Amino acid sequence: MNIDLYQVDAFASKPFEGNPAAVCPLEAWLDDALLQAIATESNLSETAFFVQTESGYHLRWFTPSVEVDLCGHATLAAAWVIFNALGDNAETLHFETRSGQLLVQRDGDELAMDFPAKATEPLTMVAEVKAALGINEIEELLMSDDIVVVVNDAQLIEALTPDMQQLKRLPGRGIVVTAKGSDVDIVSRWFGPKVGVEEDPVTGSAHTSLAPYWAKRLGKQQFTARQGGARKGALSCVVEGERVIIKGRVAPYMKGVITLPPQ
């Protein structure tokens, strides 16, 4: 059995930037254990699988260790493959996912994802979070799908070297540390050792929480963002009521074929 595999860099203007994702188009769903094994073998933060349906595409995402409810960069990557490698001429793609229907449409040389906005609530675990991140100053501590840590110095984010074992003991999917930027509006880094991803270069889904927070704080609905440590990527966010539009570019890197024994 052969399965096409595309590896592309999401939120990137050229290869070796942004967040690499593997994308596998399927004719029909395979056993979940096999999907997880492929994602583990790919060893990227996310591998996306999709099957075409009458109304669009059914999309799923796997880290090297678990299936997740929402992934931004692998959705962007899957949309790029459908538009550019598979030749779908639609202006808007409709994805059915574990997080409901997600839309991706062409926007010039970018792709725009329409995701549900996520609210944040105050979190009181300041001492535990400081210890896990190895920092002394936290401006604001919030909880959504991830712990959201707001600091007042972007350089502090650059220097982060978290304790991954301590991060695993914290609640939520992962932890995102964010601050105002200089050449961009906001910067962040995201860590998720509990889901098999020590650091994700660019996490679109984290911006479903970051975007509403920063829109209120900055007093504007549209802004630019950069995420990452040694490897970075760029995106922009637009808050539209209960939705967040996340835009970015995709750079192709590699196409291959997964060869498996007959199932």
What are 107-147's pLDDT values in tens digits?
A: 999 999 999 999 999 999 999 999 999 999 999 999 999 99
Instruction: Select from 10, 5, 40 the least CA-distant residue to 23.
Output: 5
> In terms of domains, do 23 and 132 share one?
no
Give the mean model confidence (pLDDT) for residues 217-228: 97
> In terms of domains, do 107 and 180 share one?
no
pLDDT of residue 194: 93
pLDDT of residue 152: 95
Q: Residue 136: is it exposed, middle or buried by C-beta count within 10 angstroms (0-12/13-18/19+)?
A: exposed
> In terms of domains, do 127 and 93 share one?
no
Residue 15 CB-half CA count within 13 A:
5
Give the mean model confidence (pLDDT) for residues 181-198: 96
> In terms of domains, do 160 and 235 share one?
yes
Give the mean model confidence (pLDDT) for residues 36-45: 97
> In terms of domains, do 73 and 8 share one?
yes
Q: Is the pLDDT of residue 24 over 90?
A: yes
Q: How far is CA 174 from the centre of its chain?
A: 12
- Of the chain, the percentage scoring pLDDT greater than 90 comes to 98
Distance CA 238, CA 212 (A): 9
pLDDT of residue 263: 72
Largest CA distance in the chain: 56
> In terms of domains, do 146 and 223 share one?
yes
> In terms of domains, do 92 and 36 share one?
yes
Per-residue pLDDT band for 49 (boundaries 50, 70, 90) equals very high
What do you get for the CA distance between the two ends of the chain, in Å? 7
> In terms of domains, do 91 and 125 share one?
no
pLDDT of residue 262: 81
> In terms of domains, do 107 and 20 share one?
yes
> In terms of domains, do 89 and 125 share one?
no
Total domains, the chain: 2
Look-up of token digits 């060869």:
259
Owning domain of residue 235: 121-241
Instruction: Select from 237, 235, 233, 245 the least CA-distant residue to 214.
Output: 237
Output the 3-class SS for the chain. Answer: CEEEEEEEEECCCCCCCCEEEEEEEECCCCCHHHHHHHHHHHCCCCEEEEEECCCCEEEEEECCCCEECCCHHHHHHHHHHHHHHCCCCCCEEEEEECCEEEEEEEECCEEEEEEECCCCEECCCHHHHHHHHCCCCCCEEEECCCEEEECCCHHHHHCCCCCHHHHHCCCCCCEEEEEECCCCCEEEEEEEHHHCEEEECCCCCCHHHHHHHHHHHHCCCEEEEEEECCCEEEEEEEEECCEEEEEECEEEEEEEEEECCCC
Q: Is the pLDDT of residue 193 over 80?
A: yes
Q: Global pTM?
A: 0.93
Tally the residues of the chain.
263
Mean pLDDT estimate for the chain:
96
Per-residue pLDDT band for 91 (boundaries 50, 70, 90) equals very high
Distance CA 111, CA 260 (A): 32
Give the mean model confidence (pLDDT) for residues 204-209: 96
Per-residue pLDDT band for 238 (boundaries 50, 70, 90) equals very high
> In terms of domains, do 34 and 106 share one?
yes
> In terms of domains, do 138 and 235 share one?
yes
Return the CATH number at 96. Answer: 3.10.310.10
The catalytically annotated residue of 41, 46, 137, 199 is 46
Per-residue pLDDT band for 162 (boundaries 50, 70, 90) equals very high
What are 100-116's pLDDT values in tens digits?
A: 999 999 999 999 999 99
Distance CA 69, CA 263 (A): 27
Q: Is 67 a catalytic residue?
A: no
